[in-house]
Amino acid sequence: MDGVSGGGPLRYTASHLWVRPDGEAAMVGLTPYGQEKHGRVFYVGLPALDAPVVFGLPFGYLQSAGYGLTQLFPPVQGEIVAINEALWMHPGLINEDPLGQGWLVAIAMSDPAELDELEDSAAYERIVAASGTVHGRLPAELATSAQPAFLIDERRRILTCNAAAERLIGLSAKEMQHGPLCSELFGCHLDAEGEQPVRKSTCPGICSMLNLEPIRDASYLVVNAQGRETRVMAEYRPIAEPGQPRRALVILTPEP
């Protein structure tokens, strides 16, 4: 099986996964830029066939020279219908042919409309161009705060976070910079009933940045990398500086 032959045009995530839709299914792999950032991949963990795929929960992981152990978070939801078993013996295929023989999994999508939330090639090229540039830091009082705090951008990528955020999520700041979107980590990709994905237009972080107004009292269920659940209240504080992309601070307060 080849990663990019046939099917529709490729879509991309900010965490450097490509997605090729083909009817109700979508094949997923690591982009050429993604494999370059990871360096040599020497182990791949993939899910079982028929395993459910949901936002916020990893579907697999990579071990690489550049980032060590990195969890892979799904670009769409559904069920695993194929895995690239060749990667178990030859994980280097991800480096050698990331768009072809180095594909990861195929997912039967529960909602193909989720593809609309992914980036097209032009948008992804802009992400690559901006990668490695962190526009700003956490304010000093948040950098050392006991409250989990994050800095996010307009694409819902995590730019940096404090130690309390690392403890809450169970991932290092470096892993979060190259992993899931903040909406997946915080559980705010789902509506109030915890069922339907929230679109970018209604994401509180995006709304805060666009309207330049803080948003408070958003309640989420955070599921960390080890599966521990924590109900939190979130506050979004927009940051707008001349010549800089819009960003927002996200401050979480665990509920009793």
pTM score: 0.60
Token pair listed for 193? 């009933």
User: Residue 20's pLDDT is what?
Assistant: 94
Asked whether residue 2 is domain-assigned, the answer is: no
Asked whether residue 1 is assigned to any structural domain, the reply reads no
Domain boundary among 122, 147, 169: 122
Token pair in block for residue 32: 């050429």
Which residues make Cβ contacts (< 8 Å) with residue 121, sequence separation at least 6? 9, 10, 12
**DSSP per-residue codes, 211-231:** HT--EEEEEEEEE-TTS-EEE
Q: Is 228 a domain residue?
A: yes
Which residue blocks in the chain are alpha helix, DSSP H? 32-38, 86-89, 93-96, 121-130, 140-143, 163-169, 173-177, 182-186, 204-211
110 and 153 housed in the same domain: no
In total, how many domains does the chain have? Answer: 2
d(CA 124, CA 114): 17
Q: Are residues 77 and 187 in the same domain?
A: no
- Asked if 55 and 152 sit in the same domain, the reply is no
Q: Strand, coil or helix: what is 97?
A: coil
Count CB-CB contacts under 10 A for residue 224. Answer: 15
Query: Cβ(44)–Cβ(91) under 8 Å?
Result: yes
Q: Tell me if 151 sits within 8 A of 138, measured CB to CB.
A: yes
| pLDDT for position 6 | 58
Question: Does 3 reside within a domain?
Answer: no
Residue 83 lies in a domain: yes
Confirm whether 196 is domain-assigned: yes
Boundary-marking domain end, from 97, 122, 147: 122
Q: Note the pLDDT of residue 46.
A: 95
- Residue 159 in any domain: the answer is yes
CATH number for the domain spanning 82: value is: 2.40.50.100
Of 104, 122, 140, which residue sits at a domain end?
122
pLDDT, averaged in runs of 10, over the chain (256 residues)? 62 91 93 85 94 91 82 94 95 92 96 91 80 65 86 84 87 75 64 46 76 82 77 87 78 85
Do 82 and 147 share a structural domain? no
Residue 6 in domain? no
Do 173 and 234 belong together in one domain? Answer: yes
Considering the domain architecture, whether residues 92 and 110 belong to the same structural domain is answered as yes
Domain around 50 = 11-122
| Shared domain check, 117 and 163 | no
Residues 140 and 32 in one domain: no
- Check which CATH number belongs to the domain holding 150 and give it: 3.30.450.20
Exposed e or buried b per residue across 36-48, where buried means at least 16 C-beta atoms within 10 angstroms of its C-beta:
ebbeebeebbbbe
